[in-house]
Structure 1
Amino acid sequence: MYDMRTRRRVLALIEEGRSLNSVSKETGVSRAAMRAWQARVEPLSRATPCPRCLIEPELPSSPAAYAYLLGLYLGDGCITHHCRGVYFLRVTCADAWPGLIDACAEAMQILRPDNRVFRVQRQGCQNVTCYSKHWPCLFPQHGPGKKHAREISLEPWQQEIVDAHPWEFVQGLIHSDGCRVTNRTTRMVQGERKRYEYPRYFFTNVSDDIRGLYTDTLDKLGITWTHCTRHGNPYNISVARKASVALMDAHVGPKH
């Protein structure tokens, strides 16, 4: 048995990004106990109800945050069963983009406000994680195996949210599996080779379904896009037209 002071100290160390192994060595608390404490995040007496588990299911209270987190989940997220019907949602974010990490953690916290959001440091990245019994309800795309090896489609209620908040959805996808780059090329003009630079957005995902969700949303937003095949793989979607890049810059922008 451990007192509450020990529990608070242990959870604070984990929240700082420490591994369970290092915290266990420092405090003497077993890793099994720490995992159990992390999972106890939804006391029935005060947990925010899951909007999808009501007798008459509702949309999440913050559909914009949901659309953004849905994009992140489809790109770099996964849901894993923990124990006793508890799951954890994990989104892996590169250390190079601290603003993205904050935005991901904020979206998780908005959707499950009574649950703690953890940032676990790994080499070159952080796993933003939150435990809940209801992640499979909120993200029914969860299933066995890798996302690109199974069908991925949105439920009607999810599509309703994406249609209402398309830019947040696109931003989540770009923040996970996309980037804004500067293309450099040369061209002969009146016998003289000149150098040109122009911005471009890329989105890369092995799943045909997820790429389709991205391009369908771009179509609705009036964004011109093209397939960019590399090494024989049509996994890249490019947005390079000046007007389309300007719209992406206004609503998505580079990672930060």
Structure 2
Amino acid sequence: MYDIRTRHRALALVNQGRSLNSVSKETGISRYAIRSWQARIEPAYPTGAPCWGCATDQQQPRASAAYVYLFGLYLGDGCISKQKSGTYALRIACADAWPGLIVACREAIRAVRPENRVCIVQKQGCVMVTSTSKHWPCLFPQHGSGKKHERAIALQPWQQELVDAHPWELLRGLIHSDGCRVTNWTSRLVNGVPKRYEYPRYFFTNKSADIRQIYTDTLDTVGVEWKQPNAFNISVARKASVALMDTHIGPKH
């Protein structure tokens, strides 16, 4: 039904880090068709190829934007655990209230490791988006025993290069995991009469000082003003900064 040029164009958009859903909407091609072309025409990782995360030349992945987004999700709500088989399971917790987040998480994992299956494990109030691979620890070297806020979290040089190239994808992943967009309100007296004012605001909450630092450093990079109102929260409330966040992130769905 589609010629090879059309198929390669769709795959090129996916390889830029775009989600299957967005490419499908732009091209009018179903996600199922695009996913099948990924496997048959242009897989991101040829079968048996070494993982770019542990390759000696540290070559950047084609789906670098998808990786940075997934990295943000991992820092917020992800964990990696070793299996009896010797492989590792990546698990990202996604609330049932945000079905769009679950879809985006699954598509990011597929883009980063298309050779590995992605499954959904239902929990109370959330799902664990799960994929098993021997390469998750080298793709996410921040993996370690214990809770993230109890150990040092620092970016590897190759990760920093990817974040520098796709800062909004990291911010989107962090907000989608440990952040939210809310509407605050306050009241003021106008001619002696109290008047209610509402304004949108972004919050990011994480116990790890290192992860908060990664978040605020990236906010600085893209020109977003922020404040830290308490020990674990980062707030973005300035009108121009909220508008910038809305343009690139927006509320979860």
TM-score interval for Structure 1 and Structure 2 normalised by the shorter chain: 0.7 to 0.9
Q: Which residue of 1 aligns with 2:24?
A: none
1:93 partner amino acid: C
Q: Hey, which of these two has a bigger chunk of strand by percent? A: 1
1:216 aligns with 2:213: no
Percent identity between the two aligned chains: 66
Q: Which residue of 2 aligns with 1:139?
A: 140
1:53 to partner: Cα distance: 2.7
1:47 to partner: Cα distance: 4.3
Cα RMSD of the aligned pairs, angstroms, is 1.2
1:105 aligns with 2:106: yes
Deviations 1:48-107 (A, max 9, x none): 531123342212221100110000000000000012430000000000000000000000
Q: TM-score, normalised to structure 2's length?
A: 0.80
1:237 aligns with 2:203: no
State the distance in 2 between where 1:226 and 1:240 align: 8
Q: Which residue of 1 aligns with 2:173?
A: 172
State the distance in 1 between where 2:240 and 2:56 align: 45
Q: Which runs of structure 2 are paired with 1:115-194 in the superposition (5 Å)?
A: 115-194=116-195
1:177 partner amino acid: D
CA contact (8 A) 2:77 2:177 kept: yes
1:171 to partner: Cα distance: 0.2
CA contact (8 A) 2:207 2:232 kept: yes
* Unmatched tracts of structure 2, length 5 or more: 1-45
- Max Rg structure: 1
SS in 2 for 1:83: coil
Q: Which residue of 2 aligns with 1:78?
A: 79
Q: Which residue of 2 aligns with 1:9?
A: none
Moved more, 209-218 or 189-198: 189-198
Q: Which runs of structure 2 are paired with 1:17-32 in the superposition (5 Å)?
A: none
CA contact (8 A) 2:179 2:204 kept: yes
Deviations 1:182-240 (A, max 9, x none): 001111223221100000000000000000000000011110100122xxxx1010000
State the distance in 1 between where 2:227 and 2:179 align: 14
1:114 to partner: Cα distance: 1.0
Runs of 4+ in 1 over 3 A off after TM superposition: none
Which of 225, 231, 250 matches 1:253?
Answer: 250
1:89 partner amino acid: L
1:165 to partner: Cα distance: 0.2
* Unmatched tracts of structure 1, length 5 or more: 1-44
CA contact (8 A) 2:205 2:232 kept: yes
2:159 partner amino acid: Q
State the distance in 1 between where 2:61 and 2:153 align: 20
State the distance in 1 between where 2:58 and 2:86 align: 20
Aligned length: 208
State the distance in 2 between where 1:52 and 1:184 align: 45
SS in 1 for 2:188: strand
SS in 2 for 1:226: coil
